[in-house]
Amino acid sequence: MPELPEVETIRRGLVSVMAGEVIVKTQVRRADLRWPFPDRMAERLTGVRVLALRRRSKYILVDLSSGETLLVHLGMSGRILISVPEIVCSARKRLGEFHHFHPAPEKHDHVVFEMANGARITFNDARRFGVMDLMDTVKAEAHPLLSVLGPEPLGNEFNESYLVEKFKNRNTPVKLALLDQHLVAGLGNIYVCETLYRARIHPATKTGKLKKLKVIAMVPIIRNVLVEAIAAGGSSLRDYRQADGELGYFQHSFQVYGREGEPCLTQDCVATISRIVQSGRSSFYCPSCQR
């Protein structure tokens, strides 16, 4: 499932073709994804201008001139692809003529947006675990999927004192605590594994047992891992692609994730990367460096 860096990369790609532009046509090519689409979704998403594109945790939020916000979650295999014709004749930019410039829709292209600038944005989801919903922009933070989220790890509310307080007196393994979206929003398995390796913390260590200085040191490490991953366009595993169809390449910088049995990359460490399963998810770590 795409994590925060992948979703942020896609959001940034969409800004260049959607922000400030009018959606001249919306095609909804099935009745549902993970859940049914909102009533009259195609109608409500046609003829409106995109005011802004935001990200909250792993959700993309598209604010519209209609006073509504489109919520998008990619699920397990969802992809958002952008098609921009190299040459668009102004006489053919009328509604309904974009098919002359774009590839024909594929089997799993479930929602298609045609923009006034000629761009086509397609939501493709083979497994249909993705989500789309519409809500009043002023009430967006009260949406059931958003209201339960903790602070953004790159935001000011997520800081050293916050994490120390949240970890205090808890008996939760640190790996699972960082994956708890109520505690911090957007962190996923890949980047928590990488964070704990850099922080030299075993993933099974109970949060209440961590020394305060260790907890404090984790905050900038989390931010650095995420910033580096965003700069690399995220990590391409299985279905993930950037909005322009390109692969992210942070996976080439993995120090532990997916490296079971391979040598630890820390200088002078002779251990190999191990894997344990925590709540059904693989945790990769160095048994020598992370104790």
CA distance 3 to 107: 25
CA distance 179 to 173: 10
Instruction: Please identify every residue annotated as catalytic.
Output: 2-3, 58, 281
- Single out the residue of 193, 196, 217, 214 nearest to residue 277, CA to CA: 193
CA triple 105-110-114, angle to 5 deg: 65
CA distance 167 to 178: 10
Contact by Cβ (8 Å): 124, 110: yes
CB atoms closer than 10 angstroms to residue 57:
22
